[in-house]
């Protein structure tokens, strides 16, 4: 990923909080393409609220590889486990990453998950968990 692409991604993330800003040209449409951006070591927004049945789209708006990996014991009990790479457990996701970056979301790529069960879902990015790359999705009825 070259620097120009990285800067474009950073600009898209920045525009999320500036609804009135249209100086980005085609980038102005970007916020509607995803719900959560992934930057250097953060999810933005780090907390998102959706209704049950809605699909959340994460987009890697930075230039590093990230994952979206649920904390197995920090999602509603009845909810299906989710992680980029399609792993069915947190340990499998961690092992997959160690085995060759399985589950990675490359720069510019997206991951999506549909939340059916109301409650709070906590998730993280495997390589950047040590630097606090965690997020929350709150699903309401
Ligand atoms: Cu990350």
The per-residue pLDDT for range 20-33, each reduced to its tens digit, is 333 333 444 445 68
- What is the whole-number distance in angstroms between the Cα of residue 38 and the centre of ligand 1? 7
pTM exceeds cut of 0.85: no
- What is the whole-number distance in angstroms between the Cα of residue 111 and the centre of ligand 1? 13
What number of CA atoms fall less than 13 Å from residue 39's CA on the CB side?
Answer: 15
- What superfamily in CATH does domain 32-140 come from? Cupredoxins -  blue copper proteins (2.60.40.420)
Q: Which residues pair with 110 in a beta bridge?
A: 59
- What is the whole-number distance in angstroms between the Cα of residue 40 and the centre of ligand 1? 7
- What is the whole-number distance in angstroms between the Cα of residue 121 and the centre of ligand 1? 17
SS3 content of the chain, % helix, strand, coil (to 5): 25, 30, 45
Per-residue pLDDT 10s for the chain (141 aa) are: 444 444 444 444 444 444 333 333 344 444 568 999 999 999 999 999 999 999 999 999 999 999 999 999 999 999 999 999 999 999 999 999 999 999 999 999 999 999 999 999 999 999 999 999 999 999 999
Q: Where are the domains of the chain?
A: 32-140
Question: What's the token pair of residue 39?
Answer: 């930057």
């Amino acid at each position: 990923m070259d620097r120009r692409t990285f800067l474009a991604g950073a600009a898209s993330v920045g525009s999320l909080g500036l609804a009135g800003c249209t100086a980005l040209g085609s980038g102005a449409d970007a916020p509607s393409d995803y719900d959560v951006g992934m930057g250097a070591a953060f999810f933005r927004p780090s907390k998102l609220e959706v209704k049950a049945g809605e699909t959340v789209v994460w987009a890697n708006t930075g230039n590093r590889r990230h994952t979206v990996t649920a904390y197995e014991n920090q999602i509603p009990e009845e909810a299906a486990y989710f992680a980029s790479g399609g792993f069915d457990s947190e340990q499998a996701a961690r092992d997959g990453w160690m085995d060759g970056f399985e589950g990675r979301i490359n720069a510019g790529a997206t991951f999506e998950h549909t939340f059916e069960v109301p409650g709070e879902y906590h998730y993280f990015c495997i390589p950047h968990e040590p630097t606090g790359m965690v997020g929350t999705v709150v699903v309401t009825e």
